[in-house]
Amino acid sequence: MMATKTKTTTVKKASTRTRKVVPTAELYIVNGGEAKFDKAHGFKKSVSPIYGVEEYSWTGKLTKGEVKFVRPTGTSVPTNNIYNSGITLIGKALHAFSIHNALVVTAEGSCDQIITYGNPDTKLEYVGDEEVHTVYVRVYDNANGGDLNDRWIALSID
């Protein structure tokens, strides 16, 4: 009588556990839809080689429409609900973005910047070409007392 070998096969069952996505970026872009706190919409933080301060950059395709910058908590940056908050558009951002319901002031001595003082109804809109760009954002807080209140951003684009 001959002995027969039996081959054992192990089948791995697909995991049914879901992983909680923990955002790693401190700032996200919302363009024409709901906020997505994922890697594709998160900014990278570095020190600006031009200004020597903390700067966020994001590369991706922008579509025409409203643009928001938000923290992982969902709060908007700039807040626009406090005194002296707004956006400075710099360089190409002057033509790529439009700001509605804000006080717009031309920066004294500069032809490539405008300063916009916001309010709760202020909207930032992308009006440029629908293609891949790099967006740069510097966030400034209240200079009086060091409160972290996301009151102002400087915005530029490549």
What distance in Å separates the CA atoms of residue 80 and residue 11, rounded to the nearest whole number?
56
Q: What is the pLDDT of residue 144?
A: 59
What's the pTM? 0.78
Q: What are phi and psi of 95, to 5 degrees?
A: -100, -20
Peptide bond into 78 cis (omega under 30): yes
Along the 158 residues of the chain, how does pLDDT read in single tens digits? 555 555 555 555 544 444 343 445 789 999 977 667 777 789 999 998 888 888 999 999 999 999 999 998 888 999 887 778 999 999 999 999 999 999 999 877 878 999 999 999 999 999 999 999 999 999 988 665 555 678 899 999 99
C-alpha 124/C-alpha 138 separation (Å) is 16
Count other Cβ atoms within 10 Å, centred on residue 33.
10
